[in-house]
Amino acid sequence: MPTLPLSRRTFVQSVAAASVLSARSYSATLGANERIKIGVIGAGGMATNHMETLVKMRAGDNFEIVNVCDIYDKRLDKAAQLTGGMPVKDYRKVLDNKDTDYVLIAVPEHWHFQMTMDALDAGKHVYVEKPMTQNIAQGHKVLEKVKATGRKLQVGVQGMSDESYAVAYEHVKAGELGNVVLAQIDYSRNYKGDFWAGDDYPIDADAKPGVNLDWEAWLGPAPKRPWDPERYFRWRRYWDYSGGIATDLFIHRASRLIKALNLSFPEYVVATGGKFEYKDSVAEIPDTFNVLADYPGGPTMQLVSSMGNDTPVDHMIRGHKATLFFTRTGFTIKPQEEYEKDIQPLTYQKKGAESLTLHHRNLQAAIRENQPLNCDATLGLYGVAICDMAVESFRKRQYLKWDKEKGTAVRA
C-alpha cells in the first residue's frame, strides 16, 4: 500500500478517528422514544430518595428500573418492593445486565470511584452521587475513562439543574460586576445531641453482619475494620468513607460558584475548623469547617459551615462594580454606589431548581438526544479538586497549592 503524503495521511487519520467517535457516540445514544432501563446500586437514605423520585417519574419519562442492589438484605428487599426491580447483592451483576442503559450509584463515597470505572467499562452511562470520587487522582482517571468510552456521566450535584448559575456567568462574563474579587457561600446546620447522628441517622438493630449484611463487601477498598454499626449507618463522620462537610455539603456549594464563575482548579487552598460544639462526639470529622480557595487571578472562594449553628450567610459574588446575590428564586445584581450610573440593577427569576427529577431527566436527554449534561465529569473533577484539597489542608494543617504539571495538590 503506497505511503500517503503527510498532510493527506493526517487528514485520513482524522476522518477515521472522527468516524470511530461518531460510531461510539451513536451507539451510546438511544432513540428519542426508546425506553431506558436503569440499574440502581445502593439502597440507603439518599438512594431511597432517588428511587422514590424515579418511581414517580417513570411512566411519563419512559424508563424502568430493572435491577436494585444492596449488601443489606432489609434495604434490598424494600428497594425491590418500591421499584419492582430484580434484587441482587453484588453490584457487578447489575453491570452484567446487557439491557441496562445507565446505573445510579448512590453508595458511600469510598465506593464511587471503583463502581463508576466498572460501570463505564461495562458500557453503561452513569449517574454517580457526589462527590464523583474521593480524591483528585481518581477524578482524573474517571474523566479519562468517560472520554475513552464515550459514555455519559452525571454527577449528583442536582443544584446544577438550576440554570441560574450558568445564567449568572453570562452576566459575569459581560463585565456587569467588574473584576470579581470574592465569592462566598455557606451550608450550615444545627443538631441536638450530636451531628449527623440521632433520629435522622438511626442505627438499625436488625443489621447482622454475616447474617443479613455483608460488612466486608461494604468496606471494599476502605481499610479493614471489625463490624461497627456507627461506621456503617453514620459513615459521613469517618475519614475512611467521607470528607465530611467538604464532600457531603461543600461540594454542592463550590460547584455552584465554579459554574457561575467558569472556574477550574484552585491555585491555593487552606481549611480551618474543629470539633467546637460536639467535643465528645465519636466523629472523626470536624463539626465546624471553613475554606478559603484562591483561583488564578482571583477570586477567592469562601466556604462557611458549622453543624452547631444554622444561621445562613449571604450567597454572593462580589465584583468591583456590583454584587450578585443568589436568592431562592434566582439572583439579583446590585451596583456598588460608585458605579450606580454605569451598572443597572437586575433581578433574574430562575426556571430550574435543585431537583433530582430534573437532574435524572437531563441525563436521560443526554443519553437519548446527546444534550449537554448539567454536571459532567469535568465539572465533577473541579468540585473534587477543591474539596479534596480542603480536607487534606485541614488534616495536615498545611496550606496547599495546585501543581499544574502533576495535576494535583502539593504543599505550598
Residue for grid cell 437531563: 362
Q: Report the 10 Å Cβ neighbour count for 199.
A: 7
Determine the Cα–Cα distance for residues 59 and 341; give it in Å rounded to an integer. 53
Task: Give me the pLDDT at residue 125, please.
Answer: 98
Q: What are the residues whose beta carbons fall under 8 Å from the beta carbon of 143, sequence distance 6 or more?
A: 377, 378, 380, 381
Residues of the chain with pLDDT under 50: 1-27
Residue with cell 453484588: 90
Query: How confident is the model at residue 29, as a pLDDT?
Result: 57
Identify any residues that bridge with 333 across adjacent strands, giving them in sequence order.
324, 346
Cβ atoms of 17 and 11 within 8 Å: the answer is: no
Cα distance from N-terminal residue to C-terminal residue, the chain: 56
SS3 string, the chain, reads CCCCCHHHHHHHHHHHHHHHHHHHHHHCCCCCCCCEEEEEECCCHHHHHHHHHHHHHHHHHCEEEEEEECCEHHHHHHHHHHHCCEEECCHHHHHHCCCCCEEEECCCHHHHHHHHHHHHHCCCEEEEECCCCCCHHHHHHHHHHHHHHCCCEEEECHHHHCCHHHHHHHHHHCCCCCCEEEEEEECCCECCCCCCCHHHCCCCCCCCECCCECHHHHHCCCCCCCCCHHHHHCHHHCCCCCCCHHHHHHHHHHHHHHHHHCCCCCCEEEEEEECCCCCCCCCCCCCEEEEEEECCCCCEEEEEEECECCCCCCCEEEECCEEEEEECCEEEEEECHHHCCCCCCEEEECCCCCCHHHHHHHHHHHHHHCCCCCCCHHHHHHHHHHHHHHHHHHHHCCCEEEECCCCEEEEC
Question: Residue 251 and residue 399: Cα distance in Å, rounded?
Answer: 20
pLDDT at 217: 98
**Model confidence pLDDT, tens digit, residues 115-129:** 999 999 999 999 999
pLDDT, one tens digit per residue, over 183-231 is 999 999 999 999 999 998 999 999 999 999 999 999 999 999 999 999 9
Contact 297, 306 (CB under 8 A): no
Q: Is this model's pTM higher than 0.85 or not?
A: yes
| Residue 82 near residue 76, CB atoms below 8 Å | no
| Amino acid letter, residue 252 | H
pLDDT of the residue at 374 = 98
The tens digit of pLDDT for each residue in 362-401 reads 999 999 999 999 999 999 999 999 999 999 999 999 999 9
Q: Would you state the pLDDT for residue 31?
A: 62
List, in sequence order, every residue forming a beta bridge with 268; answer none if it has no partner.
Answer: 294, 401
CA distance linking residue 147 with residue 152, whole number of Å: 9
**Confidence (pLDDT) at 34:** 85
pLDDT at 20: 38
Instruction: Using the structure block, give the residue that is written with the C-alpha cell 422514590.
Output: 52
